[in-house]
Amino acid sequence: MPISDRRDFLKFLAAGSVMSSAGLSPGMAFGQNGPHVVIIGGGTGGATAAKYLKMGDATIRVTVIETNQVYRRCYGSNEVLNGQFGIEDITITYDALQGKYGVEFIFDTVVGVDPQTRRITLKSGDKLGYDRLIVSPGIDFIWDGVDGYSEEVARQAMAHSWKAGEQTLLLRRQISDMPDGGTMIIVPPVNPYRCPPGPYERASLLAEVFQKEKPKAKILILDPKDGFAKDQPFMLGWNRMYVFQIPETKMDGMPDDISIFDTPGMIEWVSGSAGGTVEAVDAAAMTVTTEFGDTIHGDVINFIPPQKAAKLAFDMDLVDGNWCPINHLTMESTRHANIHVIGDSCIADVMPKSGYSANTQAKVVAAQILHLLRDEEPEEPTWANVCFSRVSSEYGVSVGGIYRLDHETGQIISTKGAGGVSPLNASHQFNRLEALYQEAWMENFVADSFG
């Protein structure tokens, strides 16, 4: 299909997220005693890598070590919060990876890896060797950044709902119980974090149900940042749908037809410069206190903590600071040989921490590992990302990009002219289509990664 404009590009990306790496070129099969690639983490990155390794060469032994028997995906979890999906709709089994592709699974938790002897130790005490190891363990939270906040507070009172499962259900219950006229406070984290547009999509989807079910409710976003992914298209949509006052700093390029309101509507966004940074919380009083000293009560407080690479990455000495540095050509750790890090845990420069990114990084790493195992040169990698978000069920916005390696700096950079953000002068039909692409993307993406 020739791709002539941004709309074609989005349609293409929504269709199957296949654009990454030069592809799994057929090579010499290894036969009976093929090499053993072990993957830690059966989330989006790990599952995709397992599938594409086996598709590239079925004679390779691929083992995934995953703590949980099923995967609860985060994409779609905002739709559990608004009641569109049940938790079962975002629960994925590993049946297809095992049955269709012959990926082996060990349901256990990795507690240590010795990169010298290439031995993995599991919580059960079992040990396992590998030829190459892929690590895609996701994120963990920085609990001690804000006074009064802790893992316990998240579990009892102020759910983050940034890992899907129990937290999603807790926040869902709290939102359902919130009275009409109540205030929900959303506190997004500082960059970098998993799914940059996620908190704002959450606000949008909840505003849509509140309009019908709790029309006097308010969503107050207290943000430590002065901007966020797709902020202008989001704000334009909020202005059109939820009586949102667009701040002066975001007015540049806005179409003439935006409305100016005297009082805030259902969604209010307070930037870091305007006093949005939360410095303390009080779980008993259900309040947050901002950097400017304002103490605000919330009936529901969705505090999303700052993030870092998953604990395992720290235990394995794969981090520099909070995230894992890698050689971007092969996605191999710069700290330990034969260990590749992908997904949210790795430093992927301009690529956002998203499922889509994890998926294309997985395809790149699968291709490169096949080459390395055959003593071939790695191929030229390319990566892609598109994040669709819905401002309402009929109004979508997106941001997308194609990425390549800058061989001079070793960094992942954006390909000029590819991708971009939804235009502010888009027609109603365009935004409607973007909402449809989001739905199509989710279905295709799950099938591509796990099916």
Ligand X SMILES: Cc1cc2nc3c(=O)[nH]c(=O)nc-3n(C[C@H](O)[C@H](O)[C@H](O)COP(=O)(O)OP(=O)(O)OC[C@H]3O[C@@H](n4cnc5c(N)ncnc54)[C@H](O)[C@@H]3O)c2cc1C
- Contact between 303 and ligand X by CB under 6 A: the answer reads no
CA atoms within 13 A on the CB side of 409: 7
- Contact between 399 and ligand X by CB under 6 A: the answer reads no
Percent helix, percent strand, percent coil in the chain, to nearest 5: 30, 25, 45
Q: With respect to ligand X, which residue has the nearer C-beta, 330 or 449? A: 449
Among 3, 22, 29, 68, binds ligand X (CB under 6 A): 68
Among 288, 307, 149, 154, smallest CA distance to 221 is for 288
Q: With respect to ligand X, which residue has the nearer C-beta, 203 or 246? A: 203
Residue with the closest Cβ to ligand X?
Answer: 43
- Contact between 193 and ligand X by CB under 6 A: the answer reads no
**Which residues ranging from 225 to 284 are in contact with ligand X (CB under 6 A)?**
none
CA atoms within 13 A on the CB side of 248: 2
- Contact between 300 and ligand X by CB under 6 A: the answer reads no
Please list, in sequence order, all residues whose beta carbon lies within 8 angstroms of the beta carbon of residue 404, skipping any fewer than 6 positions away: 380, 381, 382, 383, 412, 413, 415
| Pair of tokens at residue 144 | 């001690």
Element at 107 (helix H, strand E): strand 104-107
Helical H runs in 57-193? 77-81, 95-99, 151-156, 166-177
Among 65, 97, 246, 281, binds ligand X (CB under 6 A): 65
- Smallest gap from Cβ 33 to ligand X, in A, equals 26
- Contact between 353 and ligand X by CB under 6 A: the answer reads yes
Please list, in sequence order, all residues whose beta carbon lies within 8 angstroms of the beta carbon of residue 223, skipping any fewer than 6 positions away: 187, 188, 269, 270, 271, 272, 276, 277
| Pair of tokens at residue 330 | 């092969």
Among 9, 52, 71, 269, binds ligand X (CB under 6 A): 71
Q: With respect to ligand X, which residue has the nearer C-beta, 271 or 389? A: 389
Among 67, 322, 338, 444, binds ligand X (CB under 6 A): 67
Q: With respect to ligand X, which residue has the nearer C-beta, 194 or 218? A: 194
- Smallest gap from Cβ 198 to ligand X, in A, equals 4
Q: What is d(CA 19, CA 421) in angstroms, rounded to the nearest whole number?
A: 19
- Smallest gap from Cβ 258 to ligand X, in A, equals 26
Count of residues that interact with ligand X, criterion CB under 6 A? 35
- Contact residues for ligand X (CB under 6 A)? 40-46, 65-68, 71, 74-75, 77-78, 109-110, 136-138, 162, 194-195, 198, 310, 312, 343-344, 353-356, 358, 387
